[in-house]
């Protein structure tokens, strides 16, 4: 008989294109697969799993959300940073952007770029293989599904790359 693993409930708003967002909880594992400490939302949203269990707040229903149909996930302000992203990720710069999703929703905020100095453009970062990227907005942290992005407006020119020695 399999053992039950107590999960960590993280309050979020999970939105699918052209639908009202679901308010509730994603459940994270207390042990991450790829780093020390608990799983975080960055791990969960960029995992290989196709379906994510979601506990809806309003009626207690358990929904199985198809990960790639989620357009964006807004994280509750009370969520500790360790449950959002790994501390091992080094943000090398921030880019102020306006992201327009395929359903017309616009999200403005700072793109947290994690690249070596010779690859420093927002386009370099957005072309990485991960499906979801974090955006820091006035409403809080949001993970955005790259496949749901219609266009990203960058407000300032990226600095020239540092030459590779």
Buried b (16+ CB within 10 A) or exposed e, 92-122: ebebebebbbeeebebebebbbebeeebbbb
CATH of the domain at 143: 2.30.30.100
Are residues 66 and 99 located together in one domain of the fold? Answer: no
Going by C-beta distance under 8 Å and a sequence separation of 6 or more, which residues neighbour residue 62? 53, 54, 55, 56
* pLDDT of amino acid 12: 96
Q: Does some domain include residue 39?
A: yes
Going by C-beta distance under 8 Å and a sequence separation of 6 or more, which residues neighbour residue 89? 42, 114
Using an 8 Å Cβ cutoff, are 107 and 137 in contact?
yes
DSSP 3-state of 94: strand
What pTM value is reported for the model?
Answer: 0.86
Query: Which parts of the chain have pLDDT scores under 70?
Result: 1-2, 86-91, 115-120, 157-165
Q: Does some domain include residue 83?
A: no
Q: Does some domain include residue 2?
A: no
The half-sphere exposure of 21 on its side-chain side, counting CA atoms within 13 A, is 15
Q: Does some domain include residue 14?
A: yes
* pLDDT of amino acid 84: 86
Tell me the backbone φ, ψ of residue 119, rounded to 5 degrees. -125, 90
Q: Does some domain include residue 79?
A: no
By residue range, what is the domain housing residue 13? 8-74
Are residues 18 and 58 located together in one domain of the fold? Answer: yes
Residue ending a domain, choose from 74, 105, 127: 74
Are residues 115 and 143 located together in one domain of the fold? Answer: yes
Are residues 70 and 97 located together in one domain of the fold? Answer: no
Are residues 66 and 97 located together in one domain of the fold? Answer: no
Are residues 97 and 65 located together in one domain of the fold? Answer: no
Q: Does some domain include residue 88?
A: no
Domain count, the chain: 2
């Amino acid at each position: 008989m399999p053992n039950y693993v107590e999960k960590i409930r993280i309050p979020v708003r999970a939105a699918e294109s052209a639908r009202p967002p679901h308010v509730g909880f994603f459940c994270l594992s207390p042990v991450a697969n790829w780093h020390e400490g608990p799983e975080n939302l960055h791990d969960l949203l960029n995992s290989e799993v196709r379906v994510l269990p979601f506990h809806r707040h309003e009626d207690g229903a358990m929904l199985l959300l198809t990960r790639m149909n989620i357009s964006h996930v807004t994280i509750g302000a009370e969520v500790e940073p360790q449950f959002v992203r790994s501390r091992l990720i080094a943000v090398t710069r921030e880019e102020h952007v306006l992201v327009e999703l395929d359903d017309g929703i616009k999200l403005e905020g700072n793109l947290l770029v994690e690249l070596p100095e010779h690859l420093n453009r927002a386009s370099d970062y957005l072309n990485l293989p991960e499906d979801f990227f974090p955006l820091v907005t006035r409403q809080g942290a949001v993970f955005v599904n790259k496949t749901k992005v219609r266009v990203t407006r960058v407000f300032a020119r990226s600095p020239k790359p540092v030459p590779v020695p």
